[in-house]
Amino acid sequence: MKQLREAADAKRQARTDELTTLANRRALFEECDRLLATASRENPLSLLLLDLDRFKEVNDSLGHAVGDELLVLVAGRIESVARPGDVLARLGGDEFALLLPGTAAPDAVALAHSVRDRVAEPYQLGATRVHVDVSVGVASAPWPARDRSELMRAADVAMYDAKRADTAVREFDADASRLGRLVLMEDLRRVLDDAPVTAAGPGPGRLVVHLQPQVPLQRREWTVDGAPAAPPMVGVEALVRWEHPVEGTLLPAVVLPLAEATGLMGALAERVLALALEACATWWHLGVDVPVSVNLSAANVQDLLLPGKVHEALRRAGLPSHALVVELTEDTLMSEPARVAEVLLALQQSGVGVSIDDYGTGYASLAYLRDFPVDELKLDRTFVADVLESPTTATIVTHTIALAHALGVRVVAEGIEDPAVAHELTGLGCERGQGYLFSRPLPTPDVVAWLVSCSPERAGAGVPGPR
C-alpha cells in the first residue's frame, strides 16, 4: 500500500510545476492529447498561450525570489478566471497555457481578454507596487490545428503576433503569412550586416528610429482637462523600429528579445546610436540644441573602447558630446560594476550625459547614485502610474526627487498618460516628463517640425548639459 502511495505521489509530482503547483508541460501535453482525440467542430478545443511582458525587469531589479512570488500570484489570478474543466499549466519561466475544452475561438478570445485584465491589475510585492502585462495567443482545434504540435505552434505564433503588434490578445490567423522566430533571427543578423536585396527574395528590411519627446513639467502649463499642444521639447529618446518587408513594422518588444537571443544586443545598440545621432543632427544643425537619448546594452557599457566609439559616432554626425545622453537600466549597471563605472565616467567627463532608466525598481538604487556617475534618473512608469492612487508610491517618488536634486541629478518621469499625474509630478518637483500624454514616438521629420514650431527662443538656446 505504501509503495502504491509513493508511486502515485511520484507520478503526481512528475506532472506538477514545483513553484506554482499547477500542471506542468508534461501534464498539459497529456491532457491536450486526450482532449484532441474527441475534438470536432461541434466540440472544439482552444488553447491560450500566455507570456508575461517585462517580467525580466522584475526578476533583474527585485531578485528571483520576488520574481517567483509574482509568478505564483499571476498563476492564482489566471486560475480565478479559468472555468471548471479548464486546464491551467505553467510551461516554464513566465509562460503559461490554458486549455479550454468545448470552447470555440470567439469564446476563447473573450476569455483571453478577461485573463489579461485580471493579470494586469497591480501587485504588491513587499514595499514595491508592480504592474505586469501579458501577451496572449489563441488557437483552436480541430481547425486550423489538427494535432497538439500544430495547436501549440499556432498559439505560439499568435502570442508572438500579439507582442509584435503591441496588442494584448491575438487569435491565430491561418491565412496570414507569418515568419517563424528562427527566420526573423536570421533576418536581424542580415539587417545588421546591411544585407542587400537578392534574386532569391527581398532583403531583411531596415532599422529606423522613432523619437519620443521629453517636455518640461511646469505647473502653469497643466490642467486636469488636458495638456497644451506642442509644449517645448528638452530632449528625445530614440526607440528602434524594424521595417520588415513581410512582418511590417516591428516594435522594440519584438526586436530586443530577438537581438538578445542572437547575441546581437551590442551591435543593435551601436546601429541605433548611429541612427539617433543622424536624426539629432537634422535639428541640431538648424540651431535647435536638443539632445537625444539612446539605450545601451550591457555588452556596450562593458566595452572599454566604447567612449572612443561614441566620440567617433558624434564626429561623423557633426555633433558635440552634450548632444547625446546614454541610458542604462539598473541590471545593466550591475553586470560588471567596476568596468561599467570606468566607461561611464569617461563618457561623462567628455560631456555625454548618463541616465538611469527604469529607476526605482531595484533594491540597490541608492548605491547606484553613490557608485556611478549619473546626470539623470528616469522614474519607472510603474511608479508614475500609481503616484495618485498610492500614498506609499507618492512618498517614494517625493523622496527620490528630493534626493536626486540634492545630488544635482535631474528627474524624468516616464509613461505619463494622465494630465492629473503630470500635474501631481510637477507639484512634487519633477522637472521633465515623457509619455503618450505629450506624444507617441515620432519619425524624425515630425520631431523637427515640432522643434521649429516652438517659441523662437528655443532655437540656439541650448539645453543644459551634464552637471
- 346: cell is 569617461
* Residue 8 binned pLDDT confidence (cut-offs 50, 70, 90): very low
Spatial distance between the Cα atoms of 359 and 368, rounded to a whole number of angstroms:
10
- pLDDT tops 70 at residue 461: no
pLDDT of residue 310: 96
Encode pLDDT of 414-444 as tens digits.
Answer: 989 888 899 999 999 999 999 988 899 999 9
Burial of 389 (0-12, 13-18, 19+ CB in 10 A): exposed
Ranking 171-175, 342-346, 455-459 by mean pLDDT, the lowest is 455-459
Encode pLDDT of 79-111 as tens digits.
Answer: 999 999 999 999 988 999 999 999 999 999 999
Encode pLDDT of 257-299 as tens digits.
Answer: 888 878 899 899 999 999 999 999 999 999 999 999 999 988 8
* Residue 19 binned pLDDT confidence (cut-offs 50, 70, 90): very high
> H helices within 138-225, ranges in order?
148-164, 181-192
pLDDT of residue 298: 83
10 vs 4, 7, 13, 18, CA distance in Å? Answer: 10, 5, 5, 12
Residues with Cβ < 8 Å from 135, sequence gap 6 or more?
Answer: 50, 51, 53, 159, 162, 163, 167, 168, 169, 170
Pick from 378, 383, 274: nearest CA to 329: 378
Task: Kindly report the pTM of this predicted structure.
Answer: 0.64
Domains of the chain: 11-178 (3.30.70.270), 192-458 (3.20.20.450)
Spatial distance between the Cα atoms of 325 and 411, rounded to a whole number of angstroms:
13
pLDDT of residue 342: 93
Residue type, 456: P
- 126: cell is 513587499
> H helices within 262-387, ranges in order?
265-284, 298-301, 306-317, 330-333, 337-350, 365-371, 381-386
pLDDT of residue 226: 45
- pLDDT tops 50 at residue 463: no
Encode pLDDT of 21-54 as tens digits.
Answer: 999 999 999 999 999 999 988 899 999 999 998 8
Kindly tell me the sign of the dihedral angle through the C-alpha atoms of 309, 315, 321, 324.
negative
pLDDT of residue 180: 62
Count of all residues that appear for the chain in the document: 467
Encode pLDDT of 352-371 as tens digits.
Answer: 999 998 776 554 456 667 77
- Identify which of 123-127, 202-206, 334-338 has the greatest average pLDDT: 123-127
The DSSP result for 392-455, as a single string, is: HHHHHHHHHHHHHHHTT-EEEE-----HHHHHHHHHTT--EE-STTT---B-HHHHHHHHHHS-
More confident residue, 154 or 461: 154
